[in-house]
Amino acid sequence: MKDATEATRVANRAALAQVPLADRQSFEDARRGLIEALGDKLITRGDGRLVWTLKGYEFLEREDAPDSVHPGLWRHARVNMANGLYRVTDRVYQIRGFDVSNMTIIEGDSGLIVIDPLISTEVAEAAMELYLKHRPHKPVVAVIYSHSHIDHFGGVRGVVSGEDVAAGKVTIWAPAGFMAAAVGENVIAGNAMLRRALFQFGAMLPRGERGQVDTGLGKSVSLGTTTLIPPTNLIKKPVETHRIDGIEIIFELTPDAEAPAELIMYYPDFWVLNMTEITTQNFHNLLPMRGALVRDSLAWSKYIGGALHRYGGSSEVLIAQHNWPVWSGARVRGFLRKQRDAYKFVHDQTVRLMNYGYVGAEIAEMIKLPASLNQEWSAHSFYGNLKHNVRAIYQRYLGHYDGNPTNLDALPPVEAAKKSVEYMGGAEAVLKKAREDFSRGEYRWVAQVASQLVFADPANRDARELAADALEQLGYQVESATARNAYLQGAFELRNGVPNLPGGSGAAPDIVRSLPLDMYFDFMAVRLNGDKAAGKTIVLNWRFIDTKEDYVLNLENSALTFVADMQADNADATLTLTRATLDEISLQKTTYSAALQSGQIAVAGSIEKIVELLEMIDTFPIRFPVVEPRPAAISSTAR
């Protein structure tokens, strides 16, 4: 990691004049109601491995931004350091800074209502422990999942047991569609998302003023045990009011904005509005850099506007499941107006320019927030990235293709790079010019052209170094934490190659067990190696004796399809097994071949056909190149 260059120093100083640095309200809001902080304590797993700590972020104590961090991001990263147990108002508490997300606790008449038990059980337990140290001991009687992202449910077994839920002692509430979204979002494209998430969150980057400083929504993500207990009560109507342990809660569904299944809540007894993740102290992501289906900015804005009209007049504090609260009715309303209009402005202006024919890359250059929004910290892109979001809106309506037929069948990265470098007079000539541009601070172009050199020849050490240097300076200059992480991770990989990713325990058992069979077979089908399947025809009946589910799997034309609730007369074989056996295979506790041998899977018909199909199913590599050429051909591994 290198120093900020003179050009970066100048850029970040210029940014200083553009941001509302005098507005220090957030620091006050974030600290208000603190009871006890987590400080630099370590939260570990049973085996001693680190799950969470704020230790290492001491460098953020400094008031003024260093040259290597955008001044807006520096301030945001400092406010996000507020951590511990907070009293929001009578009977409403929050634990912040124990994970990327917040846990909210409402004190009911007989017990506790926990909203969003963080990502992992270890941090959720630690959060409860801190709460109980200061408040009367009462059992948890209800859990509410605000939405289907894992930072809002993964730690649930740290606050309640499955037995208590099954026995009816605890109810679990969630928005309609929660389970399918929660277990399904990271299945089909999960491997690519996992790899790309490393760029978004910068989890492997060192913390420091030349490394990871924040993620926008919180400091980082906890690395403990993730769990899931299915909800017992679903909110299905657009607005539903329930009394849970004596507390009136108005639930309002907000689907397909920040998450496929999400809700916000208003607590009339306390005049508290919980906007969950529909508002944060950020202009959020319309398309996270890990990859996702594009989110709907227009719907998002309308949900915020609706909350403003319905609850704005009777809210004394606004809390969310990330970042810090907004206090006093007038400021709550002002905040909601700014959030509503940030999503609306960027949406409408992108679409307006789109209809003039401009393409995403051009519109991203053209859109600047109006001064009234730019002077509001919460409209800044710390988690999202304005330019990336503009392109996401374009993609949502028009797709990735910009309409220019030149790009209908453009050469792929390696071939295009080789041709470009050759036309430009060879690698040495390109490097010479690119170094001159680097010295002038033209990092965007240098990153682009040096990347072409890397794709033309990944062994070109000078090109890799120059590309890395350019990405690093771009990271130092950008206000978005996730964009900074992406640039710095890119620089790291150009210098050091694809990192050895932590082995990872794979998917959480709770999530594997909850995966609907339709999704299981959809996922099996996307792992089918089309070349190996060429010319093959296989029909397999599957009978799950414990769940009483039947499936027919059909392979022809190199495509694997299935029909549920059916068995084929002409099947090559019938497999009879339990869902539990299938889950053990998914969790890598056993394999198909072991289960076939042991009789855990009973077979009638041709076992050879089963083996033949299984040998066509790929296992995805956890490491693949992102900032340099992918292998020309993939060798797949069957299991």
Query: Which parts of this chain interact with Zn ion (CB under 5 A)?
Result: 101, 149, 151, 277
Rounded least distance, CB 280 to Zn ion, Å: 8
- Asked whether 541 and 573 are in contact (CB, 8 A), the reply is yes
Q: Please, which residue, 151 or 493, has the CB nearer to Zn ion?
A: 151
6 touches 53 (CB < 8 A): no
Q: Closest CB to Zn ion among 100 and 468?
A: 100
For Zn ion, the closer of residues 324 and 455 by Cβ is 324
CB of 604 to Zn ion, least distance (A): 47
For 140, list phi and psi in degrees, rounded to 5.
-75, 125
Nearer to Zn ion, 224 or 475 (CB): 224
Q: What are phi and psi of 425, to 5 degrees?
A: 100, 15
- CA–CA dist 222, 481 (Å, integer): 17
When the beta carbons of 262 and 472 are compared against Zn ion, the nearer one is 262
Shortest separation between residue 217's beta carbon and Zn ion, angstroms: 6
Shortest distance (Å) from residue 321 CB to Zn ion: 6
Distances (CA, A) of 588 to 124, 418, 505: 27, 42, 10
Question: With respect to Zn ion, which residue has the nearer C-beta, 207 or 322?
Answer: 322
Minimum distance of Zn ion from residue 101's CB (angstroms): 5
Contact predicate 334/290, CB 8 Å: no
| Helix-strand-coil split of the chain, %, nearest 5 | 40, 15, 40
Q: Which is nearer to Zn ion, 277 or 493 (CB)?
A: 277
Amino acid occupying residue 15: A
* The two structure tokens encoding residue 568: 């084929």
292 versus 595: smaller Cβ distance to Zn ion: 292
Q: Closest approach of Cβ 150 to Zn ion, in Å? A: 8
Strand 112-115 with 140-144, pairing: parallel
- Partner residues linked to 539 by β-bridges: 554
Smallest gap from residue 281 Cβ to Zn ion (A): 13
Question: Whole-number minimum distance, CB 224 to Zn ion, in Å?
Answer: 16
Whole-Å CA distances, 165 to 40, 142, 395: 34, 9, 42
Q: How far apart are CA 393 and CA 360, in angstroms?
A: 8
* CB closer to Zn ion out of 103 and 140: 103
Residue number with CB closer to Zn ion (100 or 431): 100
| Min CB(145)–Zn ion separation in Å | 11
> Shortest approach of Zn ion to residue 258 CB, angstroms?
8
Q: For Zn ion, which residue has the nearest CB?
A: 151
Q: How far is the CB of 242 from Zn ion (least distance, A)?
A: 23
CA distance 445 to 455: 15
Look up residue 198 and give its amino acid. L
Q: Which among 189, 201, 217, 290 is positioned nearest to 489, based on CA atoms?
A: 201
CA 483/CA 480 separation, integer angstroms:
5
Yes or no: say if 574 and 540 are a contact pair by the CB < 8 Å rule. Answer: yes
Residue with tokens 């208003």: 266
Pairing of strands 140-144, 171-175: parallel
Question: How many angstroms separate the first and last alpha carbons of the chain?
Answer: 40
Order of strands across the sheet that contains 559-564: 559-564, 549-556, 538-544, 573-577, 602-605
Nearer of residues 149 and 464 to Zn ion, judged by Cβ: 149
Quote the distance between the C-alpha of residue 461 and its chain's center. 33
* Residue count (the chain): 639
- Nearer Cβ to Zn ion, position 101 or 489? 101
344, amino acid identity: K
Minimum CB–partner distance for residue 212 and Zn ion (Å): 18
Amino acid at 113: I
Instruction: Measure the CA angle with vertex 288, ends 239 and 392; round to 5°.
Output: 85
